Chains A and B, each alone.
Chain A
């Protein structure tokens, strides 16, 4: 196996199944839309028309936003919230942002620490929160994209039924927007809660998402 492939197994592996799923979503979504059109004696649309339509992109964006919200919240919540016995939690005395020594900041930085971890001031403050800043930005932008493209679909249905189109500000108060949003959030939060509590008593040999198989149930914040 080439070195670059071994070094990037996770990002390449998940990137490939993401692309395969997205293509699958596009093909099945196109089929579904045309099936619906046939039932209503409407004209079928081309594949290209479908993948550049607000219908397709609303579906993509509403799933993106919930995943990025999940990880953003998880990264933030695990700074302060702990779970005794969980591999997903820090040790019980580590709640909060931790000391500069623990976080290898300023004078505690190592020779090969990132430059902005050594710099101090605003640069270290930004770098100390850079993961949440970027993940949170992706969440907010994908939620915004869901609302903008969702409104196009909503208004298209409104016009089909001789009802008035709505503004963006009105759309984000509709049951359509919140139903699409919350049906995704509930599943993400359940999955995160499950990971936090199931890793107390269950194991997967070899996975860093699990404690070592022989680790005691009471061990908190260890890696497999």
Chain B
């Protein structure tokens, strides 16, 4: 289960990093 838990966090961290980047990019180009 350890590798499954790692994949769970890899997905969540990458998704929220992508969202944060896109929002920051949009706000900074303002």
Contacts and interface: CB of A to CB of B under 8 A. Distances in A.
Interface of A: 3-4, 7-8, 11-12, 15, 52, 54, 57, 60-61, 64, 134, 138, 141-142, 144-145, 148-149, 151-152
Interface string B5-30: 00100111001101101110111011
Contacts of B26: 54, 57, 145, 148-149, 151-152
Contacts of A7: 3-4
A11 B7 contact: yes
A185 B10 CA distance: 27
Interface of B: 3-4, 7, 10-12, 15-16, 18-19, 21-23, 25-27, 29-30
B22 A15 contact: no
A138 B19 contact: yes
A54 B23 contact: no
B4 A8 contact: yes
A207 to B, nearest CB: 21
A51 B23 CA distance: 14
Main secondary structure of the interface of A (DSSP, over half): helix
A4 B11 CA distance: 16
A149 B7 CA distance: 29
B7 A12 contact: yes
Contacts of B11: 11, 15
A44 to B, nearest CB: 20
Contacts of A57: 21-22, 25-26
Contacts of B30: 152
A149 B22 contact: yes
Nearest to B14: A15
B8 to A, nearest CB: 8
Contacts of A148: 22-23, 26-27
A7 B21 CA distance: 30
Given A7-B4, A8-B4, A8-B7, A52 B22 contact: no
29 contacts: A3-B3, A4-B3, A7-B3, A7-B4, A8-B3, A11-B11, A52-B25, A54-B26, A54-B29, A57-B22, A57-B25, A61-B19, A61-B22, A64-B18, A138-B16, A138-B19, A141-B16, A144-B23, A145-B19, A145-B22, A145-B23, A145-B26, A148-B26, A148-B27, A149-B26, A149-B29, A152-B26, A152-B29, A152-B30
